[in-house]
Amino acid sequence: MARTCRTVSWVLVLVAVAAPVVSQDTADTSNQFWFAYQYERRLGDHTKFSGSLGHEELLSSELLFGDWSRFYVTGAVSHDLNSRLRLAGGLGLYQTFRPEVDNIFEVRPWQQATVYWPDSAGMLRRFVLTHRLKLEERFTHSGDWGLAIRFRYRLATSIPLNTYDLETGSFYVPLAAEFFADVGEEAPEFFAATSRLSAGIGYVLNEKWTIDLRYTRQASRDTVVDEFDTTGHVINLTVRTSILIKDLLKSH
């Protein structure tokens, strides 16, 4: 237990200091904070609904907040064809506020396939890899409407620290690498990314609540005229639950 606590402490320290330290390597950087609330509920034995509410903020070099803010809501339905393959489709609505230029509204339908492999029994089952292939159609409006289509591939895993499987009381390390590819030479999309690498620490409070804190480093651009040469450093706090908020309020 003492070893686990030391490991968790070191991961938290690394996540907390990574952004300001790494951002010194280049002048063209952006530091961001993301918060997301994610909800899941089963609709059947193999079907599930999920949704999220989120806020993303670009931290200004002069002000704590102010360069841009984004709020979004998403919803999706997924179906498990078997234990290794999940298909899903969803829709996201995004509103980005920018103080000096036009705001941006985005409608983003998407489709994805998730493969869990390898997921062998025995000692290797705690190192299940998740492969996600996602297709997005991004309809953006900022004066005029534009359409961008892109593919996303993410490789991820979550490694338990103090337990063999992810269960109540488990600390875990989430790791992920994601890569983006635009369809078409001139993609009229804002805040686009070409790659993301993330690591952090998570905790399973119980069978319905999970929380994790991650540091993400991404290569991106902020406008359609920029090159993909901005290094983004993101602190990402995510809360996941399967409890309906209205049921939670009724219980208090």
Count of C-beta atoms within a 10 Å radius of residue 227: 7
> Which pLDDT score, from 0 to 100, does residue 182 have?
84
The two three-digit tokens of residue 74, written as one number: 């998403």
d(CA 142, CA 94): 12
Q: How is domain 2-250 classified at the CATH fold level? A: Porin (2.40.160)
> Which pLDDT score, from 0 to 100, does residue 23 have?
39
The two three-digit tokens of residue 18, written as one number: 């990574």
d(CA 5, CA 1): 6
Residue 168: CB partners within 8 Å, gap ≥ 6? 204, 205, 206, 207
CB-count exposure of residue 61 (10 Å: 0-12, 13-18, 19+): exposed
d(CA 158, CA 166): 9
Q: Which residues pair with 39 in a beta bridge?
A: 51, 241
The two three-digit tokens of residue 56, written as one number: 């993303």
> Which pLDDT score, from 0 to 100, does residue 124 have?
59
What is the enclosing helix (H) or strand (E) of 211? strand 209-220
The answer to whether 215 and 233 are in contact (CB under 8 A) is yes
- Outline where the chain has alpha helix (H): 2-22, 245-250
Closest CA relative to residue 158, chosen from 217, 91, 240: 240
Tens of each residue's pLDDT in the chain, 252 residues: 555 555 445 445 444 444 444 434 444 677 889 999 999 999 999 999 999 999 999 886 555 555 789 999 999 999 999 989 999 999 999 999 887 778 889 999 999 999 998 876 655 566 789 999 999 999 999 888 888 899 999 999 999 999 888 899 999 999 999 999 888 755 556 666 789 999 999 999 998 999 999 999 988 766 555 666 677 899 999 999 997 665 555 444
d(CA 90, CA 140): 17
Count of C-beta atoms within a 10 Å radius of residue 15: 20
The answer to whether 76 and 90 are in contact (CB under 8 A) is yes
Query: Over the range 160-186, which residues count as b (16 or more CB within 10 Å of their CB) and which as e?
Result: bbeeeebeeebbbbbbbebebebeeee
Q: What is the pTM of this model?
A: 0.83
The answer to whether 176 and 166 are in contact (CB under 8 A) is no
Q: Which amino acid makes up residue 4?
A: T
> Which pLDDT score, from 0 to 100, does residue 101 have?
77
* Strand spans (E) along 68-103: 68-80, 85-97
> Phi, psi (5° rounding) for residue 166?
-75, 115
> Which pLDDT score, from 0 to 100, does residue 68 have?
82
